[in-house]
Amino acid sequence: MSEEKIIIAADHGGYSLKEALKPHLTEMGLVVTDAGTDSDQAVDYPDFGGKAAGTVSTGLFPRGILICGSGVGMSIVANRFPGVRAALCLDEGTARLSRMHNDANILVLAGRKTDPEMALRIVRVWLATPFEGGRHQRRLDKIREMELKLNEISNDSGR
């Protein structure tokens, strides 16, 4: 089996947590692509969140991790991309449910709220928990239908 790829990105509010997590992800056997940022200098989270979420949306990466100060900005950006289900997780329970019920394909962390030890616990649970399918798949199908409808509306309004 080929190794699983994962993309990770952060703004300045998530930079140090991103750096702290990377070696652990590699240790877990993941092939990590870092989409920035590369320092704690202030940047705009849509630039980095959008870059990484775009690669999950197109299927280039099966999963991603995004980190900003609160996790909110990155969540808003990521969930604009079709097919992306980004979940802001502050604890292991939410991380588990975001996989079991929502098949979340992007984990969002709050660099200014979550310490590296807790973040690592969240990441481990998130990576290890499978999607349950069944009634939850029906709900995801409805979200997909909404995405398709919204796409039709925006195509029509461009005519």
Q: Is 32 helix (H, G, I), strand (E, B) or coil?
A: strand
Given 24, 89, 101, 136, which residue is catalytic? 101
Contacting range for ligand RB5; rule: CB under 6 A; set: 67-75, 80-88, 123-131, 151-159? 67-75
CA pair distance 24, 109, nearest whole angstrom: 15
Applying CB under 6 A, among 5, 33, 36, 70 the residue interacting with ligand RB5 is: 70
**136 given a catalytic annotation:** no
Give dist(CA 121, CA 92) in Å, integer: 7
Work out whether 73 is an interface residue with ligand RB5 (CB under 6 A).
Answer: yes
> For residue 141, what is the enclosing H or E element?
helix 135-157
User: For this structure, is 101 an active site residue?
Assistant: yes
- Scanning 26-34, 64-72, 120-128, 142-150 for contacts with ligand RB5 by CB under 6 A, the matching segment is 64-72
Spatial separation of the C-alpha atoms in residues 22 and 34, rounded to whole Å:
8
Give the DSSP H/E element, type plus range, for residue 66: strand 63-68
104 neighbors 98 (Cβ within 8 angstroms): yes
User: Out of 15, 21, 25, 45, which residue is the one contacting ligand RB5 (CB under 6 A)?
Assistant: 45
- The letter for the amino acid at 49 is G
- Per CB under 6 A, the list member of 68, 86, 89, 125 interacting with ligand RB5 is 68
94/109 Cα distance (integer angstroms): 12
Q: Which of 6, 56, 69, 99 binds ligand RB5 (CB under 6 A)?
A: 69
4-23 positions binding ligand RB5, by CB under 6 A: 11, 13
Binding site for ligand RB5 (CB under 6 A): 11, 13, 45, 68-70, 72-73
Active site residue ranges: 68, 101
